[in-house]
Structure 1
Amino acid sequence: MSLAVVAGFLLLALFGLPIAFAMGSAALAALAYSGVDFSMVPQRMMHSVNSFPLMSIPFFMLAGELMIKAGIVERLIALANSVVGRVRGGMAHVTMLSGAGLATVSGAAVSDASALSSILVPSLTKIYDRGFAAAIVAAAANLGPIIPPSGAMIVYAFMAGSSVSVGGMFMAGVVPGLIICVGFMLLCSWIAGRRGWAVTGEAFQLSRVLAELKRSLIVLAMPVIVIGGIVGGAFTATEGAAIAVVYALAIGFFITRQLNVSDLPGIVVRAAITSAVVGALIAFASVVTYLMTVDLLPQKLSELLRALTSEPLVFLALVSLLLFFVGMFLESNAAYIMLVPLLHPIAIAYGIDPLHFGFLFVLNLVIGMLTPPVGVVLFVVCGVTRVPMRELVKSAWPFIALMYAVLVVCMLFPPIVTALPRALGY
């Protein structure tokens, strides 16, 4: 029965129905088939979303929308340009550093892709071809769910239960996120040199760098305060997200002065819509998860996998292969909600570090946001820049390949992921 529920949801989603509707339809069909009392549905759904940690998701989304509207992207771009503007592939480096900086305040790839596309692509297309310019922005935006804070990691930690903490997941993403960012920059330099693109930007001047750093210091302090407070135990992830909202409002109204009261309704509505979709997914998924538990699907799947292999590394490879195909066709939040309760306990049974498995799971699905046919970041960038999908995908594949290379390295060498969170007590 549980496998039929999962298959039914996947089919409904792939046929183009909204993810939350597909999840709800599959859950209700399964209930009708199983004979379980329908009165338990609202109780299960309400219990699943009545969670204090889940409140951090809308708060972080709201903080990200506020910071983007407050004009922080322009300050991050100016700071990055003062540091790496005058090197081979300079504007590409500026885009990557801006994406990494924006990731520390937004935690979402979609909003980052929209902001970076509208601001940077006009300048990038003056230096590079349209496809490569759009691919640079898509790759930079994909750093959003990897470098903390990360909405994807919050969802994963919630679905995984007490064995994984939000702070631990955040810290697990720091080193791999920096490796990916540096790798993207080196890749851009190599491509720019191979294609003979001219050096752009002004020469490096320490005084200019210090001036831009001073101007951006108030923005850069936000992730230090919020993430540092969460990791240090000063406040929870939800409280940190609320502090981020207040901080973003203060910057927008009093520092950059680009945020107006008239902007708030639109910002709140956008954050609320995204949060509502995630909440609906979690609510409907709680019914599906309950049916899986009753049907003993995790235990059956664990027995099947152990019959196939007893090697944790082989299990990780099989999961990565599964998530590769899932990420190509399914929206990532739905994948977290459907598959984490299924695969996370099996990974623990194999003796795999929960933080290691959690990060690999998230990175797999983050890469899926760049892979067609349902790569949501690709659609956002194409929608904003008007670059054809085929042209964007053709230029994006080196960045996708590099992320998969980092995934394999992190799989083979777990300390890259786990050393920092373990050093901090997670």
Structure 2
Amino acid sequence: MSVLIIYVLIFLVLIAISMPIAFSLGISSVAAFMMTERSLELLAQRLWTGLDAFTLVAIPLFILTGELMGSSGILKRLLDFARLMVGRIKGGLLYINVLVSMLFGGVNGSAVADTSAVGSMLIPATKKEYNDPELTASVTSVSSIVGPIIPPSLPMLIYAFAASNVPVAALFLAGIVPGIIVGLALLLVTFFIIRRKDYTRDEKRYKPRDIFKILLWFLVAAILPFIMVAGIVGGIMTPTESGCIGIIYALLVGFFITRELTFSAVYKSMVRTVVITAIVMIMVSIGNVSTWWLSVEDYPNMISSMFENFTENPYIFLLLMVLLYLFVGLFIEQAAAMIMLVPIFAPLAASYGIQPEHFGIVTCLALAIGLITPPVGLCLFVSSSIAKVPIERVFKASTPYLVTMALVLIFVTYFPKLYLWVPSLFGY
């Protein structure tokens, strides 16, 4: 146990001096190998075997699909649809922000990418219209975490890999209802906030021809996540094949339908995909080394015994896990936290009789909240930089949304029947 304490302390000290998570975990793992006199050749071997999984091939494909769709002008079409739906309501641009994040999240599947893309389009216009940059930035950052919940979801892919016994299709299906609940909750909070504000309304009127055109473009965008999710759920495609179909569809839409995608944009999308994928894969590889060492030293069983000795109640276990996830999310990004923690705690959750899909959704949502809580809070940093507002003011404006997200997390954690009926309909 003393070795484990030293291992954790080294990791925490390295994080405290702002070393990247992957390198912090890697250095602490090297130290652990040396302290337990294990061959460093084994470490190199585990780095490689950690990437030897077919499921991981889907990750860059999903990332590239989102990048290509974002460069194809689809986001502007979704914005037009959202404006048609809620634009005439008081403070409509803020409602549009939430609605577009729900729609674009289903295409992109990444919270940070959603914050960057949607924020770049909506924050400047909303600031100019309402002169409330703090609220604008907070709505943009908070609504972006809907993306990792509504399928197809990149964090759910990472969770399925880390947990190793959860079908991706079941996770995608389980995420539909919680994603909608989160979106509706954010819309409700926005309503109560802006009803006391003197905001203008959008008086734009649409001709029937314009409405038809907007709805047609919406179908072009909406059919992609439907094809990807339906293909996986129906057993027609694996997640990897679904990612390939997504890329082909995005290219066809960008080059031949919207005609806004260029070869330069494709190249930039591929470069961003390579960078993001490299970051994820480094974390996966090093995370596998850490998990393997912990398993060989029998620490997961020790941790399991500690939990079981503390409580046999699955509800208390879930509470402890939620608190742990929220704390870890303050300092560690969602994907990295999943790779580190899920291999240890997913089997433990199963021992408490908690369904894998249930624990997966709780994990994804709890760690997504970390994206909007400082000091790491990547989505907060992105939105505050676009709005040119200090992050402290954005976080303060986000407080009502964070309280609401906490309530939603409680419902998702303790009332799984609200959403697990969806995967059960399909035999999961």
**Fold match by TM threshold 0.5:** yes
Match of 2:135 in 1: 132
Mapped partners of 1:231, 1:95: distance in 2: 29
- Out of 276, 279, 283, the residue aligned to residue 277 of structure 1 is 279
Contact 2:123-2:386 within 8 A present in 1 as well: no
Cross-structure match for 1:157: 160
Alpha-carbon distance between aligned partners in 2 of 1:36 and 1:192, rounded to the nearest angstrom: 60
* Greater Cα offset, 130-139 or 40-49: 40-49
Q: Are 1:377 and 2:379 counterparts?
A: yes
Distance, in Å, in 2 between the alignment partners of 1:35 and 1:44 is 16
The worse-fitting range, judged by mean Cα deviation, of 402-411 and 88-97 is: 88-97
For residue 83 of structure 2, what is the aligned residue in structure 1? 81
Query: Does the 8 Å contact 2:15/2:21 carry over to 1?
Result: yes
Residue correspondence of structure 1 range 208-357 to structure 2 within 5 A: 208-357=210-359
Q: By how many angstroms is 1:384 displaced?
A: 2.4
My pick for the range that moved more, 340-349 or 209-218, is 209-218
Q: Is the 8 A contact 1:369 1:375 kept in 2?
A: yes
SS in 2 for 1:197: coil
User: Are 2:142 and 1:142 aligned?
Assistant: no
Cα distance in 2 for partners of 1:246, 1:187 equals 38
* 2:423 maps to amino acid: P
**Residue 54 of structure 1, CA deviation:** 0.6
Counterpart secondary structure, 2:312: coil
Identity %: 36
The AA in structure 2 aligned to 1:119 is: M
Q: Secondary structure at the match of 1:194?
A: coil
Inter-partner Cα distance in structure 1 for 2:159 and 2:6:
23
Question: Residue 52 of structure 2: which of 35, 50, 53 is its match?
Answer: 50
Deviates more, 1:383-392 or 1:354-363: 383-392
Q: How far has the Cα of 1:266 moved from its partner? A: 1.7
Tell me which residue corresponds to 1:402. 404
Deviations 1:333-355 (A, max 9, x none): 22111111111111111111111
User: Structure 1 residues 201, 57: CA separation in 2 closer, same or farther (over 3 Å shift)?
Assistant: farther
TM-score norm. by structure 1 comes to 0.96
User: Is the CA contact 1:83–1:209 (under 8 Å) kept in the aligned structure 2?
Assistant: no
Using a 3 Å threshold, how does the CA distance of structure 1 residues 45 and 355 change in structure 2: closer, same or farther? same
> CA, structure 1 residues 337+50, in 2 after alignment: closer, same or farther (shift >3 Å)?
same
The TM-score normalised by the length of structure 2 is 0.96
- How far 1:207 moved relative to its partner? 5.7
Deviations 1:78-137 (A, max 9, x none): 011111111133111111111111111111011111101110111211125000011111
Name the SS of the counterpart of 2:75 in structure 1: helix
Aligned 8 A contact 2:138 2:397 in 1: yes
How many residue pairs were aligned?
425
CA–CA distance in structure 2, aligned partners of residues 398 and 205 of structure 1: 37
Q: Please show how residues 84-95 of structure 1 align to structure 2 within 5 Å.
A: 84-95=86-97
Residues 425 and 6 (structure 1), Cα distance of their counterparts in 2 relative to 1, 3 Å cut: farther
Give, in whole Å, the separation in 1 of the partners of 2:342 and 2:272. 27
Deviations 1:13-61 (A, max 9, x none): 2320012211211111111111111111222111111211111111111
What is the rounded CA distance, in whole Å, between the counterparts of 1:201 and 1:378 in structure 2? 31
- Post-superposition Cα deviations, 1:227-273, rounded to whole Å, max 9, x if no partner, equal 11111111011110111111111111111111111222221111111
CA distance in 2, matches of 1:247, 1:44: 36
SS of match in other structure, 2:130:
coil
1:13 maps to what in 2?
Answer: 15
Number of the residue aligned with 1:386: 388
SS at match of 1:259: coil
Matched, 1:119 2:104: no
**Amino acid of the residue matched to residue 177 of structure 2?**
V
Instruction: Give the whole-Å Cα distance in 2 for the aligned partners of 1:204 and 1:311.
Output: 56
Q: CA deviation at 1:386?
A: 1.7
Aligned to 1:415, which of 402, 414, 417?
417
- CA–CA separation in structure 1 for the residues paired with 2:265 and 2:376: 31
Q: 1:100 aligns with which of 90, 96, 102?
A: 102
Range moving further from structure 2, 41-50 or 269-278: 41-50
CA contact (8 A) 1:14 1:329 kept: no
What CA distance in whole angstroms lies between the structure 2 residues aligned with 1:201 and 1:104? Answer: 29
Question: Residue type of the partner of 1:16?
Answer: S
**Paired residues of 1:2 and 1:295 also in contact (CA < 8 A):** no
- Taking the aligned partners of 1:93 and 1:377, their CA distance within structure 2 comes to 18
Which ranges of structure 1 fall in alignment gaps of 5 or more residues? none
Instruction: For 2:65, give the aligned amino acid.
Output: A
Between the aligned partners of 1:398 and 1:114, the Cα distance in structure 2 is: 22
Residue identity opposite 1:417 in structure 2 = Y
Paired with 2:8 and 2:426, the residues of 1 have a C-alpha distance of 37
Give the RMSD, CA atoms, in angstroms: 1.5
Q: CA deviation at 1:8?
A: 2.5
Q: Counterpart of 1:318 in structure 2: which amino acid? A: L
Once residues 97 and 233 of structure 1 are traced to their aligned partners in structure 2, the CA distance between those partners, rounded to angstroms, is 30
Pairwise CA distance, 1:403: 1.2
Partner Cα distance (2:352, 2:12) in 1:
27
Q: Partner residue of 1:31?
A: 33
Check whether the contact 2:173–2:422 (CA below 8 A) recurs between aligned residues: yes
Query: CA deviation digits over 1:318-367, x for unaligned, max 9?
Result: 11111111111111222111111111111111111111111101110001
Q: Distance in 1 between matches of 2:289 and 2:20?
A: 18
- Matches of 1:238 and 1:9 in 2, distance apart? 33
